[in-house]
Amino acid sequence: MSIMNIMAYATTGREFEVMDDLASIGVECWQGKRIEFERRGKSRIAEPFEYPALPNYIHITAPFHRVSDIMDIRHLSRTVKFMHEADVMGWQVFKRAAEARLAEAQRIIAERARMDAAKASRQDVINLISSYKFGDALEIQGGAFAGMLATFGRMVVKPGTAHPMVEAKVQLFGGEVAAALDPLDVRKAG
């Protein structure tokens, strides 16, 4: 049983549909995809959109006896190119480069999702902190004063710091000591 490497032409915009049809009949193919970041409409942020790695072309690896089944796939041209070994090697180089670009785009998307989650978390902290009033009792949950109680003073943003700090008075050794606490380490007591 001879395995054929075939380069096939698919109708524009139907490449992913053809790949699904090939997979449904058990034929191995690689069309690949690329992710482009585009601003559409009035969007201020470039969003990811998927496109074929090589528009219209699909690399098919199949036994010779499956060629007639492949030709019956809708949106796939009946004109195909049977690839020589040198063509296959060149295709493998292209495939590796396309997959590397795709992996980088997916890394960017994952990093964006992580940053969005962190931003939402920061917004939750800001909402929580904005509910604090002067004199509120705070429970310290992390840091050097973990497990102690403090009295809220104010929020302070110092030059050169990445985030605001909670200025509070901590009960220590029978008196009050001023402390600058990370907002993530305190919660309202009660």
In tens, the pLDDT along 1-53 reads: 688 899 999 998 898 899 899 999 989 998 788 999 998 888 788 899 999 99
* Residue 69 parent element (H or E): helix 67-71
Mean pLDDT of the chain: 86
pLDDT at 105: 93
Instruction: Give yes or no for residue 159 having a pLDDT over 80.
Output: no
pLDDT digits (tens, 9 = 90+) for 81-128: 999 989 999 999 999 999 999 999 999 999 988 888 877 777 776 677
pLDDT at 65: 87
CA 132 to chain centre: 35
Structure tokens at 114: 């992580």
- What does DSSP assign to residue 54? S
What is d(CA 102, CA 173) in angstroms, rounded to the nearest whole number? 59
The pTM of this model reads 0.59
pLDDT at 125: 67
Task: Specify the range with the lowest mean pLDDT, choosing from 8-22, 124-138, 146-160.
Answer: 124-138
Q: Which residues pair with 165 in a beta bridge?
A: 156
Which domains can be identified in the chain, with CATH numbers? 3-122 (3.30.70), 131-188 (2.30.30.30)
Cβ 43 vs Cβ 35: under 8 Å: no
User: What is the phi/psi pair of residue 49, to 5°?
Assistant: -130, 140
CA dihedral of residues 122, 127, 129, 133 (deg, nearest 10): 170
Structure tokens at 93: 């180089």
* Residue 91 parent element (H or E): helix 85-130
What is d(CA 152, CA 188) in angstroms, rounded to the nearest whole number? 9
